Amino acid sequence: MTMPAATLLKQAAAALLAPLTGVGEAELAARLECPPDETLGDLSLPCFALAKTLRRAPAAIASELAAQVNGQEEACAAEAAGGEADPAPPIRWRAEAAGGFLNLRAAGRGWIEALLRQAESPALGRLEDGAGKRVVIDYSSPNIAKPMSVGHLRSTVIGRALANLHRTAGWDVQTVNHLGDWGTQFGKLIAATKRWGSREAIEADPIGESLRLYVRFHEEAERDPALVDEGRAWFLRLEQGDAEARELWAFFIRESLKEFQRIYGRLGVEFDHLLGESFYNDKMEAAAQRLREAGLLEESDGALVVRLDEQGMPPCLVFKSDGSTIYGTRDLATALYRREAMGGDKLLYVVGAEQTLHFRQVFAVLEKLDPTWEQVEKVHVPFGLMRIEGRKMSTRRGKVVFLDEVLDEAVRRALAVIEAKTPDLPDKEAVAEAVGIGAIVFGDLRSRRMLEIDFSLEEMVSLDGETGPYVQYTYARACSLLRRAAEAGTGSGAERGDASGLEALGSPAARACLLKLDAYGEAIRGALREHEPSVLARYLLELAKAFNRFYNSGRILGADGGGETAAKLRLTAACAAVLSHGLGLLGLSAPSRI
């Protein structure tokens, strides 16, 4: 079971209007809008597009449709009155014309029951858009022996959310960490380690020590050019499979991965495949051979390139003049591998905006090589810069702010917020970790990804405002209400079956919650369509806001002790279910107590 293509209410309204307008249901569902003001109704159909076929003014069409809908509904209501209580009553409507718009409001309790069931279903959040298709998602992809930058953090957070979104939409998702584990810098690092370094020092602080060795190498190489040759010689040995060089290289990878793993662990990120750039070393020649056979490789100043003049781009470098391959060569081999060996129907690359030209070139070369590549959806998902507390994290110079420290700081601040709010909370440290990390993850995802972010920890760990902790806190609040109800013995299974209270959920605040719940599938779909997790993040903020408004709009426990309380608790549970599911898709955990 999966969720419908549009919201449930739009589907129902489209089914109602299709025979009256002669327009197909899918088309109608797409045309239906949410009115700008909730007092106008739940849905609105602009009748302007109908004017041509029905040959009447939009306003006349709207009022005729309104009369038809209301007439039909009265007939149905009379018919239903005599019948038994239906376990799933149909959705009823009240219609009103306003200018060229037909406004519809769901009536009775059928729609309430249907919307609650949708949120209670095990199919919550599940779509079938991607059924039978495989997507390969490249994200995080940090460089060995270098600190993970904020850019890598963004890639990790956005990429993981996109992976979850694809998975819930039915895609077969394969995630890859394309580690930067190859390049001439490893020759330098080996040379520096041999001269000044030690394994113990590297094991104690792998990335810090690598960085120090790296910096020292560059400093001393300025005075002693022989060092450069030494680094080059070590890289050559590495390329030729020299045992000592290989062993040291593998050691660097192992040690760096330990550090990366710590961050992944805290973020709760996993990968299906850890395939670094070096994995493609023995696959590049075959890729180049295919370019050669297709007549695409051309000489340019001793180098071999693929010209991309018609595409309006500079040529894509494949072999440098010394015959060595580069980052782009590896990405060509990688793309071929992901399509052919991994069976990818869609390839996603979550990489900073500064690599836009690189990916455009790689994609263009693939299409020149083989036109069937045009049918493979290849998407570079770029993102903008993120500054944390005004600091830009750079890896080159000595001044580096490590990601770990940023996460620690967020957790510390979250703990302070919790101490102030609920000092008796059990398991405070674990909750602070969830909230602190959640603050960073949500802060990264809440704005459109291309926007630059100036990240303020103070703002992001706050329990109110547009923050992850606000959504988490709202969820915990709903959980606490449900716990209190359970303790008091209200809202039990028997009462939940009591339909009489459902009408209480027609109040404006409850209605707004129900409509938001119904929009969950559209939020997921929108986020996927634009490869933009912020669409889901904004949705969750709106749902949290709607729930809090409902929560504050009148008594829930002991509202009437019976049907009304049960119905309100049912809505609370439905909101909680969507909040935690949505937070999970974005990669946040949802503690049930904060």
E runs forming strands in 60-188: 92-98, 101-107, 134-138, 172-177
Give residue 145's region: left, alpha or beta (phi > 0; psi -120 to 50): left
Cβ distance to ligand ARG smaller for residue 261 or 492 = 261
x/- site string to ligand ARG, residues 442 to 461, per CB under 6 A?
--------------------
Choose which of 351, 457, 566, 573 interacts with ligand ARG (CB under 6 A): 351
Residues 227-246 that bind ligand ARG (CB under 6 A): none
Q: CA dist 146 to 24, 98, 185, 376, 549, Å?
A: 56, 62, 11, 33, 47
Q: Does 349 bind ligand ARG (CB under 6 A)?
A: yes
Kindly tell me which of 10 and 166 has the beta carbon lying closer to ligand ARG: 166
Q: Which is nearer to ligand ARG, 392 or 412 (CB)?
A: 392
Task: Look up residue 422 and give its two tokens.
Answer: 């609920």
Residue 25 as a binder of ligand ARG (CB under 6 A): the answer is no
**Residue whose CB is less far from ligand ARG, 141 or 193:** 141
Please list every residue from 368 through 407 that binds ligand ARG, using CB under 6 A: none
**Closest C-alpha among 12, 47, 46 to residue 29:** 12
Q: Interface with ligand ARG by CB under 6 A: which range of 27-35, 138-146, 431-439, 479-487? A: 138-146
Residue 119 and residue 574 in contact, taking contact as beta carbons nearer than 8 Å: yes
Question: Considering the rule CB under 6 A, would residue 334 count as an interface residue with ligand ARG?
Answer: yes
C-beta closer to ligand ARG: residue 150 or 546: 150
Q: Does 138 bind ligand ARG (CB under 6 A)?
A: yes
Taking the complex as a whole, how short is the minimal distance between the CB of residue 190 and ligand ARG, in angstroms? Answer: 20
Contacting residue, 209, 331, 433, 518, with ligand ARG by CB under 6 A = 331
- 561: phi then psi, degrees, rounded to nearest 5: 75, -10
> Whole-angstrom Cα distance, residue 266 to residue 144?
19
Amino acid letter, residue 531: H
Of 185 and 462, the one with the shorter C-beta distance to ligand ARG is: 185
Stretch that binds ligand ARG, among 52-60, 135-143, 302-310, 371-379 (CB under 6 A): 135-143
Residue owning tokens 């049918």: 375
Comparison of 93 and 349: residue with beta carbon closer to ligand ARG: 349
Task: Closer to ligand ARG by CB, 141 or 210: give it.
Answer: 141
Nearest approach, Cβ of residue 392 and ligand ARG (Å)? 16
The reply on whether position 143 binds ligand ARG by CB under 6 A is yes
Q: Between residues 334 and 361, which has the closer beta carbon with respect to ligand ARG?
A: 334
Read out DSSP for 62-95? HHHHHHHHHHHHHHHHHHHHHSPPPSSPPPEEEE
Q: For residue 108, state whether it binds ligand ARG (rule: CB under 6 A).
A: no
* Nearer to ligand ARG (CB atom), residue 366 or residue 515: 366
CB 453 to ligand ARG: min, Å: 19
Yes or no: say if 29 and 11 are a contact pair by the CB < 8 Å rule: yes
From 96-104, 137-145, 298-306, 374-382, give the range in contact with ligand ARG by CB under 6 A: 137-145
User: Least distance in Å: CB of 302 to ligand ARG?
Assistant: 25
Q: Is 141 in the site for ligand ARG (CB under 6 A)?
A: yes
- The distance of closest approach from Cβ of residue 146 to ligand ARG in the complex, given in angstroms and rounded to an integer, is 8
Q: Which residues of 514-546 are buried (b: 16+ CB within 10 A; e: fewer)?
A: bbbbbbbbbbbbbbbeebbbbbbbbbbbebbbb
- How far apart CA 319 and CA 239 sit, in angstroms, is 16
Shortest distance, position 263 Cβ to ligand ARG, whole Å = 15
Q: Is 58 an interacting residue with respect to ligand ARG (CB under 6 A)? A: no
Shorter beta-carbon distance to ligand ARG: residue 157 or 415: 157
Smallest separation, CB 143 to ligand ARG (Å): 5
Q: Is 105 in the site for ligand ARG (CB under 6 A)?
A: no
The distance of closest approach from Cβ of residue 180 to ligand ARG in the complex, given in angstroms and rounded to an integer, is 4
In our burial notation (b when 16+ CB lie closer than 10 A, e otherwise), range 67-106 reads ebbeebbeeeeeebeeeeeeeebebbbbbbbeebbbbbbb
3-state secondary structure 307-355: CCCCCCCCCEEEECCCCCECHHHHHHHHHHHHHHCCCCCEEEEECCHHH
CB of 62 to ligand ARG, least distance (A): 52
CA gap 402, 413 in Å, rounded: 17
Place of tokens 């370094």: 197
Residue 165 Cα distances to 151, 155, 434, angstroms: 21, 15, 21
DSSP 506: G
Site string for ligand ARG, 152-191 (x = CB under 6 A): --------------------------x-x-----------
Cα gap 292→298, rounded to integer Å:
9
Residue 135 CB, nearest approach to ligand ARG (Å):
15
Total of chain residues touching ligand ARG, rule CB under 6 A? 9
Cα 197 to chain centroid distance, Å, stands at: 41
Residue ranges that bind ligand ARG, judged by CB under 6 A:
138, 141, 143, 178, 180, 331, 334, 349, 351
